[in-house]
């Protein structure tokens, strides 16, 4: 039923956009479809995003999506059988512009058969030095509940739990020149509660045990990005780096580079990207546990993503405005985007393909 509602909304949006042609406010609506495929898991994700004016000084943003997940992994909740599940998410944000200060409030709710998540956030952003400098802060709280009583595959152990998340994010951006801008951010998050996968088991010397993880996790992330636009060729170069560390012993580095080339007076843009990620393993993670560890070690995990991870992501994206093909009026501002990424990773999940197609059109109301 939920998937049918999404499909109906997708079909109705172009009609709504066509009918809203005599109003005083405008915005953009994007219909998007994403696909993710790795060795044992496939995810298909239709979604709708909207960004609309709300009065003279307000902006409303919202999204609606469905994840359709198919997996053969036992950690997904299936016991030797194919696993199928859908996740539904609804989110909304409102930002009010007071001139040099912007205040935002938002929330997100997602639900699936064994997991419900609620998230709220409050943001404040301020401009200084004739808007050459921007400082921002974002506060967020998350409340998750999980319950595997309806698991596919008939697991015998019923588990329930709760997870609370508190996050604060600080950001700053500085215009360095007419062609360049630099930004930095720092994220601090604290997770408290049930953090293990309720389906994942760990094999230790022939014995099988449920995954056990600490009840708390303190995470730090520091990131920086610099953008430079080469005006004669309409080329933008982007370099980014993110450093991550937490109290589980994981330390991660993630450099990234992108090139954006505009063509045909901006009607076409082409993006090339590369991202490398590497992290150390959590203190308690082992590739192979001894049988005695089931009784002696407080924490056990069979999650490759808590181990020594290395991956590379290669990406290609292109965007085209329909005005390139001679369309006029509002149709000239309709944009089509396509994205393809290849993820090469050293975990047992195997390499992955990520693709996305999006249609963005202007609306008036």
Q: How far separated are the first and last CA of the chain, in Å rounded?
A: 29
What is the structure's pLDDT at 151?
59
pLDDT at 17: 45
Domains along the chain with CATH numbers: 92-364 (2.40.160)
pLDDT tens-digit series, residues 177-196? 999 999 999 999 999 999 98
- Average pLDDT of the chain is 89
Instruction: Look at residue 152 in the predicted model and tell me its pLDDT.
Output: 54
- The better pLDDT of the pair 130, 19 is held by 130
Portion of the chain with pLDDT greater than 90, in percent: 69
Cα dihedral sign, 86-354-184-132 = negative
Q: Model's pTM, two decimal places?
A: 0.85
Please say whether the beta carbons of 286 and 293 come within 8 A.
Answer: yes
Question: Quick one: which H or E segment has residue 3?
Answer: helix 2-19
Per-residue pLDDT band for 224 (boundaries 50, 70, 90) equals very high
The Cα-based distances of 277 to 37, 181, 317 in angstroms read 19, 24, 20
Number of residues that this document lists for the chain: 365
Let me know the angle formed at the C-alpha of 280 by 206 and 189, rounded to the nearest 5 degrees.
105
Query: What pLDDT, on the 0 to 100 scale, is given for residue 23?
Result: 53
pLDDT band of residue 325 (cuts 50, 70, 90) is: very high
Integer CA distances (angstroms), 248 to 151, 214, 297, 306, in order: 29, 8, 15, 9
CA nearest to 340, candidates 37, 71, 68: 37
**Beta bridge partners of residue 279, listed in sequence order:** 252, 309
Could you please report the per-residue DSSP string of 284-327?
A: T--SSB-TTHHHH-S-B---GGGS-EEEEEEEEEEEEEGGGGT-
Residue 201 pLDDT: 84
pLDDT at residue 155, as a whole number: 47
């Amino acid at each position: 039923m939920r998937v049918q509602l999404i499909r109906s909304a997708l079909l109705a949006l172009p009609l709504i956009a066509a009918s809203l042609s005599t109003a005083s406010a405008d915005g953009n609506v994007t219909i998007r479809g994403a696909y993710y495929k790795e060795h044992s898991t496939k995810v298909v994700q239709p979604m709708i995003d909207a960004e609309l004016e709300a009065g003279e000084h307000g902006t409303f943003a919202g999204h609606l999506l469905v994840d359709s997940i198919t997996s053969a992994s036992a950690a997904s909740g299936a016991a030797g059988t194919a696993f199928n599940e859908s996740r539904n998410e609804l989110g909304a944000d409102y930002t009010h512009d007071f001139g040099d200060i912007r205040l935002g409030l938002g929330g997100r709710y997602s639900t699936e058969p064994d997991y419900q998540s609620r998230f709220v956030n409050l943001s404040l952003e301020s401009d200084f030095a004739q808007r050459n400098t921007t400082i921002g802060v974002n506060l967020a709280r998350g409340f998750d509940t999980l319950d595997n009583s309806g698991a596919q595959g008939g697991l015998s152990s019923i588990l329930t739990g709760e997870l609370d998340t508190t996050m604060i994010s600080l950001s700053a951006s500085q215009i360095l020149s007419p062609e360049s801008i630099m930004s930095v951010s720092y994220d601090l998050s604290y997770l408290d509660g049930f953090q293990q996968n309720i389906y994942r088991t760990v094999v230790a010397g022939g014995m099988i045990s449920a995954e056990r993880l600490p009840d708390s996790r303190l995470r730090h992330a520091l990131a920086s990005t610099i953008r430079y636009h080469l005006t004669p060729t309409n080329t933008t170069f982007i370099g980014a780096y993110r450093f991550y560390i937490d109290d589980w012993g994981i330390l991660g580095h993630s450099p990234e580079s992108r090139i954006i080339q505009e063509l045909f007076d901006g009607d076409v843009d082409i993006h090339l990207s590369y991202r490398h990620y590497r992290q150390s393993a959590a203190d308690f993670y082992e590739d192979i546990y001894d049988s005695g560890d089931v009784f002696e070690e407080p924490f056990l995990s069979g999650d490759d993503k808590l181990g020594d991870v290395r991956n590379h992501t290669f990406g290609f994206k292109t965007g085209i405005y329909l005005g390139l093909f001679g369309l006029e009026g509002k149709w000239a501002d309709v944009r089509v985007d396509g994205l393809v990424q290849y993820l090469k990773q050293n975990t047992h999940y195997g390499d992955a393909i990520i693709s996305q197609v999006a249609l963005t059109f202007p609306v008036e109301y």
